[in-house]
Every structure is written in C-alpha cells, then in structure tokens.
Amino acid sequence: MVDDRTARDRVVQAADELFYARGVQAVGMDAVREAAGVPLKRIYAMFASKEELLVAVLQHRRESWAAGIAAASERATTARERILAIFDFLDAWFREPTFRGCAFINTFGEMGPGSAAAAAVVRDQKDDFGEYVARLVSDAGAPAWLAPQLTLLAEGAQTTAAISGDTTMARHARAAAETLLDAAAPADG
C-alpha cells in the first residue's frame, strides 16, 4: 500500500495534468482516481471536495512556478539579467508540447469567482509574481513604475501564446522588456 504522502502527491499530480489539459469542470473525480491509481474513498479522505483538490493543485502549481522562475535566474549575474530570465523561462515553457497557457489564468477564466478558494490562490500567485518582479526592478535600481509593466508583459505573453499557439510571444515580450529597461535606465551625466 502506498503511504499517505505518496498517494496525495499522485492525486495532486494526476489532477494537475487532467485539469490543465481538459479544464477543471470537464474532469470528474473518477478520472482523477483512474489516473492516480488511488481509490476514490481515499481521495475523498485526503480532499473533502473537488474544490479542495483544485486548491491543492493550484498550490502545487504555485510552488512549481516559483521554483522554475528561481532556477531560470540562477545563471544571471545582474538584476537586469534576472528580469530577462523570466522571459527566457517563458520561452522554454511555451515550447513544451503540453503548454496550454497559465493554469492560474485558465482556472480563473473557467471558474471565475464561483470558487472563492481557488480565486484566492490565483490572486495570491499573481500578487507574488508581481512582488517578485518589483524586487528585481528595485535591485536593478529602476523606477517602481517599471514592475507592473514588466509583469503585464509576462502575463500577456502567456495568454497570447496560449490562444494564438505562437511560441515566439516570450521573445517578443523579452524584446519589449529590454526596451523598457533601457528607457528606465538612469541617464549618464
């Protein structure tokens, strides 16, 4: 028998893949059970409802997103390079065959405010990302107004790439970010 932690991880991973590929409402708990190989009774012992499972999936995605962004910036030696690494991370992600856009945007678009718990996780993730970009902008010595503009570029690239199927959107957003960074750089005396 699989221990509780392993079973929980399998359920969250299976639900994540299914929700991301098909949408939350299109996936029943029987499909999660089948994909995870965990009995439905055990799933409901871990997650009282599908919404509770969705929140766990979004929390998992949130951790994966933060880890991916952090890993992308590890090679950067300057704050400017760490900012641009966001767009390099997006570029690699957009090229993955399973790319379906931002799971947070997708979930909010599908569920709207109908799931207050899921909407809260989505908002928290978006706030966290905006704060991360703001820290990088501050580290770069750039004006604070630049952070929301860069955040919008990243968010817009995700949405546009998902809808259009054009994987070059991250490159376009990166070029725009470079232009904004150059424009925000203090002028040399």
Same domain, 55 and 15: no
Q: What is the pLDDT of residue 189?
A: 38
Residue for token digits 């107004």? 145
- Number of residues assigned to the chain: 189
Residue 134 scores a pLDDT above 80: yes
Query: Mean of the per-residue pLDDT values for the chain?
Result: 95
In this structure, the answer to whether residues 57 and 131 fall within a common structural domain is: yes
What DSSP state is assigned to residue 112?
G
Residues 18 and 80 both lie in one domain: no
- pLDDT for 132: 96
pLDDT tens readout for residues 89-128: 999 999 999 999 999 999 999 998 889 999 999 999 999 9
Per-residue DSSP letter, 143: -
Residue type, 186: P
Q: Which helix (H) or strand (E) holds 5?
A: helix 4-22
Query: Does residue 64 belong to any structural domain of this protein?
Result: yes
CA angle 141, 89, 20 (to 5 degrees): 130
Same domain, 39 and 56: no
Q: Which two tokens stand for residue 77?
A: 């030696």
Residue 123 lies in a domain: yes
Single pTM value for the model: 0.92
The answer to whether residue 189 is domain-embedded is no
The CATH code of the domain that includes 7 is 1.10.10.60
| Total number of domains constituting the chain | 2
**25 and 61 housed in the same domain:** no
pLDDT digits (tens, 9 = 90+) for 141-174: 999 999 999 999 999 999 999 999 999 999 999 9
Q: Both 95 and 140 in a single domain?
A: yes
- In whole angstroms, give the CA distance from residue 97 to residue 169: 16
Domain around 2: 1-48
